[in-house]
Structure 1
Amino acid sequence: MAFRAGAHPSPLDDIGHGTHVASTVAGNTVADASVLGQALGNAVGIAPRAHIAVYKVLYNSIGTESDIHAGINQAIADGVDVLQMSLGAASLPLHRGVNLGSFAAIQHGIVPCAAAGNSGPQKSVISNDVPWVLTVGAGTTDRRIRATVKLGDGTELNGESAYQPSGFLNQMPIAHPGASGIQAYRECRTLYGLNVGGKIVLCWGKAGGGNVAMGRVVKAAGGAAMIVLNDQFQALTTAAEPHILPAVHVNSLNSQSILNYIASTSTPTATIEFNGTVFGVPMNPAVATFSSRGLSLVNRGIVKPDIIAPGVNILAAWPVEVGPNPTGITNTFNFLSGTSMATPHVSGIVALLKNIHPEWSPAAIRSAIMTTAYTTDFDGNFIRDQFPDTGPAGSYFAMGAGYVNPSAAADPGLIYDIDESECIAHLCGTGFSNRQVTTIAQRRIDCFAHFRMTAEQLNYPSISLTLEAGEKKIINRTVTNVGEANSVYSVQIHDPHRWMFLPTSCLSFMWVRSKAIVSSLQPENPLQHLVRSVEDSFHGFQTSTL
C-alpha cells in the first residue's frame, strides 16, 4: 500500500531500494545468486518464512511526515510484529517523524527498527535516535569483490568492483581531471573539454556507493577505465558496484599512493586486474565510514546507535539487470551499502526472536540484541572504525553495543526491560513539555504529576553519564532472568582505570522472570568506555558505560 499526500498511488518500487531491503529481511532461497557473477551462492533472507507487508511512503527518496505516519498507522492497524524502516531524517525532535509513529508501535507490542543514517563520519548527525527505537548502524563483512590497480612502477593496490570483465587491460595513461581544482571535474560530473580518450580516469567518489554515474560520464568522454578515489573523509570503506566500464574503487590510503605516483613521473600509467570474490579479509567486521554516529543532540542522554549490522556491499534482490551487458536474466541482484541495508538484517533477527519469544516486549528484544553483540572482530581484536584511515578501535558512539550476534540474542540469559510509562518518565524528566509528551504518548500527560527519570536512570542496555569534576553517582539497573531457573551469574567490570565500583559480584535467580537490581558507583569518569559483563556457564551479557 502506498501513501502520498492523502492518496494511494502505485506501491511498486521505482528505484530498487525497497526491493533490496525486503529481500534482505525475508527473501526466499535463490540458488546461484550473484551480481555479475560475483559472490556466487545461495541467497536467502534473514527470516525467509516471515510474511511482509509493504507500505511505500517515499517517492524519489522524498516523503512527508504525514505520509510516514499514515504508513506506520496502517501497519499497526494491520497487526504487524516488526516495523522495518530504512528511512529517516537526522536530528528530528522526539515528537516528530518516525520517532512519533514508533511510540504508537511499541504501545501495541511492535518492535520498531530504523536506520541510523549515512551521515558518517560526521559526529552527532544521527536519525531515529529515540530510546524506544532500535537504531541500526552499518558494519562491514569479511568479503571483498577484489580488483587491483597496477601502477606503472609495479605498485599493486587493492580495491573493489562488481563488474569484472575478462581479459587483461594494458597499461594506460592516467588522467586526473580533479587536478584542475574544478569540483565538477573532480567528481566526474562532466569531462567536457578534457582529453581522456583511451585513458584510465581518476574520479573522487563516495564510500557508500553511487559512483556508477561517474563511469557513464567517463565512458561517454572516451575514457577506457576509471579509478574511484576516496578522500580522507571517505577513508577505508569502498563500494563494489556494477560499473559500465572497467573500474575499481580504492580506499583513501591507496588513493594517496596513486596521487604520490602521479606526482613522481611525467608519464603515469595504470591498469586494473580483476580477482573475483575474496573471503577472510582481516580486521572485519568494522564500522563503515558512512554510518551515522552519536552523541545524539536530541534524545538527551541515550547512546545511539544501538547496534551495527552488515551494511556494506550487501547482495540482495534488484528489479532490473545491472552492468553494461544485459542478458535477459530474471533473477537479478545488486550490491548496495548503507544503514538501510544493515537495518533489515536486524529486523529479520527481531522477527525470529518474536517467533521464539512471543512474550518478550520490544525493549526486551532490543536488550537481547544489544547485550549479546560482538565487540571483537573475527581475529579477536576490538572492532575497528574505518574512519579515520588509521583504523582505530571503534567508539561506542559509532558502533553502539557492537556487531549483531543473532544466535546469542536468542538466549541472552538476562534482559533490561522498559515499559511505556518509563519512556514517558524519561521524557518528562529530561525537559520535554506536557504538550510534546502528550503528542508522543497520544494521550494527555501531566509531567508535574508523573514520576520522572533522567536518561541515566532509564533501564536502558547502555549507560551514558554526565559528571562534574569530582562528582559521584550511583546508577541502578534492573535485570530480568529469561534464562534458566536457579541461575547464578558472576559480575565483572572491564575497567582498567578502576573508575567504577560494584557492590556485588554475584546475582542469583530462583525463577524465570525474577528480577535483580544492579548498582554501580561512578566516580570521575567522563566519557570513558567501560564494559560491565555478567555471565554464567551458558550466557554472556554486557553493558557499556560512557
Structure 2
Amino acid sequence: MFRYLCSSLSIFLHREHRKLIGARYFFKGFEAAVGTLSSDLRNPRDITGHGTHTLSTAGGSPVPGANVRGFGNGTAKGGSPRARVAAYKACWTLKNDDGCFDADILAAFDAAIHDGVDVLSVSLGGDQNSYFETGIGIGAFHAITKGISVVASAGNSGPKAGTLENVAPWLLTVGASTIDRQFPAFVIFGEHKLQGESLSNASLPRNKMLPLIRSRDAAAANASDEDANLCTMGSLDATKVKGKIVVCIRGKNPRIEKGEVVKLVGGKGMVLVNDLSSSDEIISDPNVLPATHISYSDGLKLFSYLDSTKSPEGFISYPYTMLGTKPAPSVASFSSRGPNTITPEILKPDIIGPGVNIIAAYTKAISPTGIEFEEQRLPFNIESGTSMSCPHIAGIVSLLKALHPEWSPSAIKSAIMTTASLLDNMAEPIKNSFMVNASPFSYGSGHVWPSRAMDPGLVYDLDTMDYLNFLCSLGYKSSQISTFKPYKCPSNLTSLMDLNYPSITVPNLTETVIVVRRLKNVGTLGTYVAHVQNPVGVIVTD
C-alpha cells in the first residue's frame, strides 16, 4: 500500500543498559512500486534533515553553544539525553516520487521489536483508514503487546477540524504547541513597527527605507493573481520587483522558497504575511534574504498602508533572540485537530508538546533552507511541526520507563495525560493561533508537564485484551482482527466509551449515558476524592 507521509525517518529509543544498535534501513516496498534506488542512496543516512532533527530532540546528548546562525545560543540536549538510540529509515525520495510504504514501515517496526527497543518515536503520518489498513497502527499494536510505548505525530493539517492522523487508542498521539522563545525581526513602514520573526543572516542597509510592493502587483505577464500572491516560482516580474521589498502571502509553496523567488528576480527583502487559516502564529525561517514573517492581523495593517500610499516604503530589521515571551504555550495553527474521524469515542490528540521553532541537530547533506543549490550547511536547524513535538514526548516516555520499568505503555500514557496543564505562562487557558481559548480537540488532555508525570498517583491502565475487545466493539470480523492477533470476540461486548482511556468522549450526547473507568494506584497509599467540572450544558455525577 502506497501512502504519502510527512516524514523521512522513524526514531526508536533504548534505555542506557541496552545494546546500541545504530541505524537500519528498509526500502523493498518503495522500490517495488516506484523504482530502484541508486547505490549511493540505499543506506540509512539522513539526506533531508528530518530524521537527524527528531532523533536529537528525543535522545541527543548535551551540546554547549548550539545555535542557528548565532540565534538561540545555548546548551541543546534531547528529552532523554542518556538514552541509547537507533534509527530505522523507512521513507525515501526518487525523482518526483517520495513517501513511505506500509511494507517498509512494518519491516522497520518488526526490526525494532526484535531489537528490543523500549520506546518508539514515530514522526510519520498519512491518510486515516480502518485500523487494520494502516501500517503504523498495525506495527504499533504489535509493539504494544511487547510492552513497547509508541509515540506518534498528530499531523500538520490544522486548524481544520477532523484532520488527525495516528488515532489508534494504543498510540500516544502528539499535537504541537508554541514555546516561549522568539526571534523578532520588525517590518517598519509609515507609523507602524510590526514584530515578525526570522532567522535570516542577511541585512538591509541601515537607516534606508526601500520601496515596498505587494507581490500581486508585481505579477509576471503569464502568472495568475493567486500564484503572484503566493510568490510561486516564475510568478514575479523582475522589472517590477528589482530593488524592492516584496510582500508575499503564506500558503501552497514552502515559506523559504518564496524568499528565493523574490531574490531571483532582484528583490531586496520579503515580508511574509499569514493567510487567515494561519492567523497569528508566526515561524522563524533561515531565509536567503532579509525577511520577516508577520501575523494575519498585522498583515491587514500592512496591506492597508500599501493600498492607501502612492509610494510605499519600508525596512526590515535584523532579528535577535528573545526569551520568556507570553502567552505560551499555545496550540500551533498547523497542528491537526479532532474530532477523531475513525472512532469519535476516543479523544485525539492525547497531548501537546513543543513543536514550533525547535532547535535540534541537522544533517550537513543539504542546506538548512532546503534549497538545492544553496551552499550553506549548519549542524543545527530550527524546524516546526508535530514531527518535532512527537520526539519531545518520546524523550519523556523514555525517562518514565527508566524511572518506572514496571509501568505498562498505557500506564505511562495515562501518567502523561492526567498530569498535563491546561494553562499557559500567564495562568490563563491555553489559546489557539487566533488567541481564543483552545479546545480538547486541539490539545487533548493539555500541555505536557514532565515532572508531574513522574508521580500521577492513579493511572488508567489497559492491556492487549482491552484493545482486542475494542476492535470487536467496532464490529471487526475475526479475519480483520487477526491482522493484529488471532482472537475470538466475546459475546458480551462493552461500549466503546467504556475503554479504560485517560480521557472521556461522548459523541452526539442526546440522553443520559453511564461511562465506566477503572483506576490503579501507582503511588503511595492514600485517599482520592473525585471532583467534576461540568462542560457547559452537561450535568455530570460520579
Q: 1:265 aligns with which of 309, 312, 324?
A: 309
Q: What's the offset of the Cα at 1:495? A: 2.3
Tell me the equivalent position of 1:80. Answer: 117
Question: Which of the numbers 478, 496, 500 marks the counterpart of 1:459?
Answer: 500
Instruction: Give the residue type in structure 1 aligned to 2:410.
Output: A
Give the CA deviation at 1:66.
0.7
Structure 2 CA distance for aligned equivalents of residues 272 and 330 of structure 1: 25
Which deviates the most, 362-371 or 84-93? 84-93
Q: 1:337 aligns with which of 375, 379, 384?
A: 384
CA positional deviation for 1:164: 4.0
Relative to 1, partners in 2 of residues 1:294 and 1:255: Cα closer, same or farther, differing over 3 Å? same
After TM superposition, give the deviation of residue 283 of structure 1 in Å.
Answer: 1.6
- How far apart in 1 are the matches of 2:113 and 2:491? 27
Matched, 1:16 2:49: yes
Change (3 A) 1:229 1:4: same
Candidates 409, 426, 429, aligned match of 2:473: 429
Q: Choose the corresponding residue for 1:3, options 20, 26, 33.
A: 26
C-alpha distance after superposition, 1:83-138 (max 9, x if no partner): 11001113232112201111000000000100000000111011100100000000
Instruction: Give the letter aligned to residue 506 of structure 2.
Output: L
After superposition, where does 1:467-478 map in structure 2 within 5 Å?
467-469=508-510, 471-478=511-518
TM-aligned CA distance change 1:206 to 1:309, over 3 Å: farther
Aligned equivalent of 2:199 = 162
Higher RCO structure (Cα 8 Å, ≥6 apart): 2
Residue 363 (structure 2) aligns with: 319
Quick one: structure 1 residues 206 and 284, their matched pair in 2 at CA, closer, same or farther if it must change by over 3 Å?
Answer: farther
Give the partner amino acid of 1:365.
Answer: I
Query: What is the TM-score of this pair, normalised by structure 1?
Result: 0.86
Distance in 1 (alpha carbons) for counterparts of 2:382 and 2:343: 33
Is residue 2:440 matched to residue 1:396? yes
In structure 2, the residue matched to 1:43 is 76
Question: Which consecutive residues of structure 2, in runs of 5 or more, have no partner in the other structure?
Answer: 1-23, 32-36
Deviations 1:350-372 (A, max 9, x none): 00000000010010000000000
CA distance in 1, matches of 2:523, 2:305: 59
Match of 1:535 in 2: none
Q: Residues of 2 paired with 1:191 and 1:154: CA distance? A: 31
SS in 1 for 2:57: helix
RMSD: 2.2
Rounded Cα–Cα distance in structure 1 between residues aligned with 2:375 and 2:241: 32
Could you tell me how far 1:402 is from its partner in structure 2? 0.6
Q: Deviations over 1:227-279 (max 9, x none)?
A: 11111011122111111110001111111111111111111111111241111
513, 516, 520: which one aligns with 1:480: 520
Q: 1:169 touches 1:272 (CA, 8 Å); kept in 2?
A: no
Asked whether the 8 Å contact 1:303–1:464 carries over to 2, the reply is: yes
SS in 1 for 2:67: strand
Q: Does 1:417 align with 2:456?
A: no
| Residues in 2 aligned to 1:171 and 1:399: alpha-carbon distance in whole angstroms | 42
Identity among equivalent positions (%) equals 38
Under a length normalisation based on structure 2, what TM-score does the superposition of the two structures give? 0.87
Picking from 428, 442, 454, the partner of 2:485 is 442
Q: What's the counterpart of residue 228 of structure 2?
A: 185
Would the aligned equivalents of 1:300 and 1:430 in 2 still touch at CA under 8 Å? no
Task: From the superposition, tell whether residues 183 and 297 of structure 1 become closer, same or farther in structure 2 (CA, over 3 Å).
Answer: same
How far the C-alpha of 1:438 sits from its partner, in A, is 1.9
Q: Select the residue among 153, 158, 163 that pairs with 1:115.
A: 153
Corresponding residue pairs, total:
492
Partners of 1:477 and 1:462 in 2: how far apart? 10
CA contact (8 A) 1:246 1:272 kept: yes
Structure with the largest fraction of strand:
1
Q: Secondary structure at the match of 1:286?
A: coil
CA separation in 1, counterparts of 2:215 and 2:538? Answer: 53
CA distance in 2, matches of 1:393, 1:156: 27
Does residue 1:127 correspond to 2:165, yes or no? yes
1:229 aligns with 2:273: yes
Q: 1:314 to 1:473 in 2, by over 3 A?
A: same
Q: Letter of the aligned partner of 1:185 in structure 2? A: A
> 1:72 and 1:327, CA in 2 relative to 1: closer, same or farther beyond 3 A?
closer
Q: 1:450 to 1:145 in 2, by over 3 A?
A: farther
Measured after TM superposition, the shift of residue 300 of structure 1 is: 4.1
Give me the whole-angstrom Cα distance separating, in 2, the residues matched to 1:318 and 1:188. Answer: 27
Q: 1:71 matched to which residue of 2?
A: 108
Matched with 2:6 is none
Distance 1:36 1:84, change over 3 A: same
- Extract unaligned runs of 5+ from structure 1: 503-519, 521-546
| Shift in Å, 1:334 | 0.5
Kindly tell me: are residues 329 and 40 of structure 1, through their superposed partners in 2, closer, same or farther at Cα, counting changes over 3 Å? farther
**Residues 1:299 and 2:343 are matched in the alignment:** yes
